Amino acid sequence: MVEYHVVSTAVFVIALACGIWTFFILLVQAIGFTQLVRHYSSKPAPAVSSQLKTDDVPHITILRPVKGLEPQLYECLAATFQQEYAKDKLTVYLCIASASDPAYSILQRLLAEYPEFDAKVFVEEEDPNLCGRDGETTNLGPNPKIRNMSRGYREAKGDIIWIIDCNVWVGKGVAGRMVDKLYGIKAGGKRVMPYKFVHLLPLVVDSVGSSVDREMRESLNIKSNSNHQVRSTNSSAYKIASVPDDESSLSTILRTGGGRLEEMFMASSHAKFYTAINTVSVAPCIVGKSNMFRRSHLDHLTSGASPFSPGIDSFSENICEDHLIGNLLWRKKVPGQDKGIRFRNHGLVFGDLAIQPMAGMSMSEYIARRVRWLRVRKWTVILATFVEPGVEPLLCSAYGAFAITTLPWFHSALGIPHTWFALFLVWLFMITSWMTLDSFVYRKLHSGATIELDSNTPSFARTRNEPGRRPLGQWILAWLGRELLALPIWTWAVYGGTTVMWRGKRFRVGLDMRVKEIKSRSVASSHPAKDRKAK
């Protein structure tokens, strides 16, 4: 058997560095796994803030930016109106770019079905600051999501802003529990240190199947046979197409497999690191799916910082606005801190999930989505982006295997030989252990144990008591596919360019984290899956 030996100090130092890195990543995973088991095994306690006297309940303005017909769009948006929170303390602004968007009719339907709420639809094309008689499109930067929400933010009521993407569903007690965390409200009238910013753990559910078709048709009130395709006069309509006849297994994977990979990523690697980083709170780590903060804090910190109005408008020239808003609130003192009032930076509301249903995402769309995410993060969190390949199991396990089969201590104490075959066996053992751990995390998050079930809970969130969302063979293939694609996707994203597609438009991301729209190459999406990359 061919052996290799430590022949130089340089090799020893490299092996030691690999061992330290592997230990660090395993420690982070252990923290994330422990927190996920602790907090996502049962329903969270009912919110305290929603049970206070009406005058003591904080007012929330909910902003929901909408673009196109996302899967289960009606159910996701309706969750806003189904919160167990005082109705007169909720203001709901549904924000959309154009009245010709195919989702506009769903927004109107929601207003009609929930007339008791203080709710409005804001159309960007009718925003007087952007397109009115005295408005100019250049009054804001090119960020389409900020432009979409700008008027809703300017006309917000109360101090709390809750931004939820249109393709996200939340349980009925989430609003109250997020306010509890933000304000430090505890049962029995106790108060603890409040937070500047609170958010939820995101989770993707790939809901490919007949339920997607049925629920979307019901949302649109469209009667159709199984071969009909739902279309709109607007080209960005979400398309529901029947499965091609005699489709091969490979074609099916290429056509719909992207959703399974995204589902796997969000319920394994992403969930562990997201939870761990937010537990130790050494740096901001947020995803802009469901975020809550105080308007007064953000306005104070952004006043005079840009040529635009204070608040979210100040980030209209950036494309990673969720991270930048969170990072600003993390780094800067907010009103009151100069007088001794203490705030914690960010708080993850453990137990609750921001669930995104996904349907029909192809492999190419998944790759494009991940590339966009990485290119946006490349200049906002440079160090984290450039070490990312080393946190993935295939490469990290290789680091660990090299350290274990190279450092003398493992040979003398455990008898591990310095051979390439031993390195392969250790690597294989680490990969298998990693995959097993991910399977526990996946099952925990997709068990539905934390979901407050009622008659309004949509099918994609009803996963309680199922033996497993996916057959073992499919799960393993999805896990392996995600991991095998991770390094090629990262390489292309980091070194292959600086342009991204977002909400049907093409942007170039600069070193200063600002974006410029490439208008000459702007593309109007003919399929909502391309728009979904934006969210």
Active site residues: 322
Backbone angles phi, psi at 447, to 5 degrees: -75, -20
Q: Where does 168-230 have alpha helices with state H?
A: 174-183, 210-220
SS3 512: coil
Spatial CA neighbour of 53 closest among 189, 161, 168, 250: 189
Spatial CA neighbour of 216 closest among 205, 230, 197, 195: 230
Spatial CA neighbour of 182 closest among 50, 86, 304, 81: 50
Spatial CA neighbour of 458 closest among 258, 207, 83, 266: 207
Q: Is 534 exposed, middle or buried (0-12, 13-18, 19+ CB in 10 A)?
A: buried
Backbone angles phi, psi at 205, to 5 degrees: -120, 115
**372 strand-pairing partners:** none
367 neighbors 86 (Cβ within 8 angstroms): no
In angstroms, the CA 401 to CA 505 distance is 44
In angstroms, the CA 130 to CA 126 distance is 8
Separation in Å, CA 321 to CA 38, 291, 292, 376, 396: 31, 12, 14, 10, 31
SS3 460: helix
Spatial CA neighbour of 289 closest among 255, 337, 326: 326
Spatial CA neighbour of 81 closest among 46, 47, 120: 120
For residue 484, how far is the Cα from the chain centroid? 22
140 neighbors 147 (Cβ within 8 angstroms): yes
Q: What size, in residues, is the chain? A: 535
161 neighbors 294 (Cβ within 8 angstroms): yes
Structural tokens at position 443: 């099952």
In angstroms, the CA 456 to CA 171 distance is 10
Structural tokens at position 96: 């959309």
Enclosing H/E stretch for 473: helix 472-495
List the Cα angle 493/497/500 in 5-degree steps: 75
Structural tokens at position 516: 């410029």
In angstroms, the CA 505 to CA 142 distance is 10
User: Where are the strands (E) in 279-322, listed by range?
Assistant: 290-294
Q: Is 103 left (phi over 0), alpha (psi -120 to 50) or beta?
A: alpha
In angstroms, the CA 257 to CA 246 distance is 17
